[in-house]
Amino acid sequence: MSHAPKQEKAWGGVFNEPTDKRVEAFSESVSFDRRLADDDIDGSTAHARMLAACGLMTAAEAEAVAAALAEIRSDIAADRFEFSATKEDIHLHIESALTAKLGDTGRKLHTARSRNDQVATDLRLFCRRAIDRIDTGLAELQRAFVGLADRERDLVIPAYTHLRRAQPVLAAHQLLSWCEKFQRDRDRLADCRKRTNILPLGSGALAGTSLPIDREHVRQALGFDGLAANSLDGASDRDFVCELAFVISLSAVHLSQWAEEWIIWSTHEFGFLKLPEGFCTGSSIMPQKINPDVLELVRGKSARTIGNVQALLVLMKGLPTAYNRDLQEDKEQIFDSIDTLEAMLGVAAPLVAGTSFDRERIAASIDRGHLDATSLMEAMIADGVPQRTAHETVGRLVRLAMTRGMQLAELAEDECRREFAGWKPAFRNALGARHAVDRMQSEGSTAPARVASQLTAWKARLG
């Protein structure tokens, strides 16, 4: 009696009926998980060598497997590999190509392994590589901000709260504020990498294996920092996917906030920035338009990264212990988040590097809007005036200046003394945007010396 299965699935032995074609189309994942091919091959190569080290395969067999997997890798890279929904996913595709090349030797590869711990391993390798690329992209963007801050290091601009003129700052200070955000993103990535870089392989389907494997051998070969300690958890933990999706989304939110700010700053009304034309687009009907579409798309694309976090958390929330097929749905979300952020970073860094400030326009309006009111108030406080009194007095002086259409510095001495008996001419030293900036001193402030040392620190840090 023949032992040939009724159907050619890797899991077909128990089945009497073939899989419905509609089910094959519905449940396949190879259309998207083929992106795991390199990681799958890395994982399988390490697994085969471990099997040989443990006597579950000969060394010659393991090397034959490694060589055949290398050929499959180049076939896939060169588009010579045939994909089909009947073979479900990338893991079964690679294994069946291996068996086609090596026969029974290929049929040994899946010893002491399940696709459950296999896919978890592949996805961790994929995410680890993505984390490292994203970190490089964020560093590149930080370098672009530092470069622009360095070129504009003496420029004073208005800073806003509630999108109303608030206090003057150095442009460099504002630019370096983005470096802080992207540094926290990089720190979060590094932290997420620690939990990503744990090896699930050896968890088997969920319970481990009765075969004498050596997980430490695979861990070293694949550069993981540790082993998943519990096989049930190891085969089904997707925390690292959710975390990475979140870290990406927060980075995308930072990029979106930056894009929004620069869209505003580059309007005709603000006129602070000159964006590089290569990073703007035109209108097919209004010939005069030079639009910030790249910045708008950076802002717009952040939305899908936020949606992906939600999709992943909702995917996970109903799953009982160990592998459930729902987990196959994690890949498109995390792939999309990774692709989206990398695309955003790919245009953001050169856009920042190619941007300059319109120094003349900024200088023409920097002393409007009473940006120096807080500076005046603090000069009075430093002279012993109670803060509330100083605040009220400067408020009255601003009101007076507003009714006259003047700036604070243009009010006459006797007018100031009329508003406040303790007025001193030296208070005027605090007026004017440039002076207000120069008088700053606190750590982390826009004081020129502080900003200069921040710039130095960033340059040293980013190399």
Interface residue with ligand ARG, options 39, 42, 61, 89 (CB under 6 A) = 89
At 87, give phi and psi (nearest 5°).
Answer: -95, 15
DSSP code string of 365-377: HTT-S-TTHHHHH
Interface residue with ligand ARG, options 29, 266, 302, 393 (CB under 6 A) = 29
Comparison of 323 and 423: residue with beta carbon closer to ligand ARG: 323
116 lies in the site for ligand ARG, by CB under 6 A: yes
Burial 314-325 (b: 16+ CB within 10 A, else e): ebbeeeeebbee
Interface residue with ligand ARG, options 76, 119, 244, 248 (CB under 6 A) = 119
Comparison of 119 and 156: residue with beta carbon closer to ligand ARG: 119
Count Cβ atoms below 10 Å from residue 83 Cβ, excluding itself: 12
Three-state SS for 424?
coil
Pairing of strands 273-274, 356-357: antiparallel
Comparison of 41 and 252: residue with beta carbon closer to ligand ARG: 41
What's the min distance (Å) between Cβ of 194 and ligand ARG? 24
DSSP code string of 44-111: HHHHHHHHHHTTSS-HHHHHHHHHHHHHHHHHHHTT-PPP-GGG-SHHHHHHHHHHHHHGGGGGGTTT
What's the min distance (Å) between Cβ of 458 and ligand ARG? 41
What's the min distance (Å) between Cβ of 9 and ligand ARG? 11
Comparison of 30 and 351: residue with beta carbon closer to ligand ARG: 30
Three-state SS for 109?
coil
What's the min distance (Å) between Cβ of 77 and ligand ARG? 21
Question: What's the CA gap between 293 and 152, in Å, rounded?
Answer: 25
Cβ(430)–Cβ(436) below 8 Å: yes
411: amino acid identity, one letter: L
Q: Which of 451, 419, 446, 449 is nearest to 433 (CA)?
A: 446
Comparison of 268 and 325: residue with beta carbon closer to ligand ARG: 325
446 lies in the site for ligand ARG, by CB under 6 A: no
Stretch of 114-122, 311-319, 354-362, 371-379 contacting ligand ARG, by CB under 6 A: 114-122
Comparison of 105 and 333: residue with beta carbon closer to ligand ARG: 333
Count Cβ atoms below 10 Å from residue 78 Cβ, excluding itself: 8
Stretch of 97-105, 234-242, 320-328, 365-373 contacting ligand ARG, by CB under 6 A: 320-328
Three-state SS for 67?
helix
Question: What's the CA gap between 426 and 413, in Å, rounded?
Answer: 11
What's the min distance (Å) between Cβ of 170 and ligand ARG? 51
Site for ligand ARG in 321-360 (CB under 6 A): 323, 325, 327-328
Three-state SS for 341?
helix
Whether 370 is a known active-site residue: answer no
Pairing of strands 198-199, 226-227: parallel
Binding string, residues 289-318; x marks residues near ligand ARG by CB under 6 A: ------------------------------
At 110, give phi and psi (nearest 5°).
Answer: -80, 10
Q: Which of 162, 210, 268, 442 is catalytic?
A: 162
Whether 283 is a known active-site residue: answer yes
Cβ(66)–Cβ(126) below 8 Å: no
Q: Which of 356, 159, 185, 172 is nearest to 255 (CA)?
A: 185
Q: Give the start-end residues of each E strand in 278-331.
A: none
What's the min distance (Å) between Cβ of 304 and ligand ARG? 21
What's the min distance (Å) between Cβ of 325 and ligand ARG? 6
Comparison of 91 and 108: residue with beta carbon closer to ligand ARG: 91
What's the min distance (Å) between Cβ of 30 and ligand ARG? 8
Question: What's the CA gap between 315 and 298, in Å, rounded?
Answer: 26
CA 249 to chain centre: 6
Q: Which of 364, 369, 380 is nearest to 424 (CA)?
A: 380
Site for ligand ARG in 184-203 (CB under 6 A): none
Beta bridge partners, 347, equal: none
Q: Which of 27, 31, 84, 283 is catalytic?
A: 283
115 lies in the site for ligand ARG, by CB under 6 A: yes
Q: Applying CB under 6 A, what is the total number of residues that bind ligand ARG?
A: 10
Comparison of 125 and 327: residue with beta carbon closer to ligand ARG: 327
DSSP structure class, residue 281: B
What's the min distance (Å) between Cβ of 36 and ligand ARG? 9
370 lies in the site for ligand ARG, by CB under 6 A: no
Comparison of 89 and 237: residue with beta carbon closer to ligand ARG: 89
45 lies in the site for ligand ARG, by CB under 6 A: no
Active site residues: 162, 283
> Which stretches of the chain bind ligand ARG, using CB under 6 A?
29, 33, 89, 115-116, 119, 323, 325, 327-328
